[in-house]
C-alpha cells in the first residue's frame, strides 16, 4: 500500500487511500493487541495447571502445557 502511494503521488491526497491506510494501521494495532492477549491467556492457562485443585483435575483429564504459536510478521 505504501509503495503504491510512492509511485502515484496523486494517490497520497486521495480520501479513499487515506481511509484505507488508516484502516490498515488500525488493523495492525488490533492484531498486535490480540496476539498479546492470546499469549497472556496461554500463560494464565499454564499457570493454572500448576495450582491446586485445578492441577488435579487437569492431570486426570490429561491437560498439557501449551506453547503460544504466534508467527512473526
CA distance 23 to 31: 12
pLDDT of residue 50: 87
**73: pLDDT confidence band, cut at 50, 70 and 90?**
low
pTM: 0.65
- Could you tell me the maximum CA-CA distance found in the chain, to the nearest angstrom? 64
pLDDT of residue 11: 65
**Count of Cβ atoms closer than 10 Å to residue 18 Cβ:** 13
pLDDT of residue 23: 94
Question: pLDDT tens digits, residue range 13-59?
Answer: 677 878 888 999 999 999 999 999 999 999 998 998 888 888 888 88
Q: Long-range contact list for 23-26, CB < 8 A, 24+ apart?
A: none
DSSP classification of residue 53? T
Amino acid at each position: 500500500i505504501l509503495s503504491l502511494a510512492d509511485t502515484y503521488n496523486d494517490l497520497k491526497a486521495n480520501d479513499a487511500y487515506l481511509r484505507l491506510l488508516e484502516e490498515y494501521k488500525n488493523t495492525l494495532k488490533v492484531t498486535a493487541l490480540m496476539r498479546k492477549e492470546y499469549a497472556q491467556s496461554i500463560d494464565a492457562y499454564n499457570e493454572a495447571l500448576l495450582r491446586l485443585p485445578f492441577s488435579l483435575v487437569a492431570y486426570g483429564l490429561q491437560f498439557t502445557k501449551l506453547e503460544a504459536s504466534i508467527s512473526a510478521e
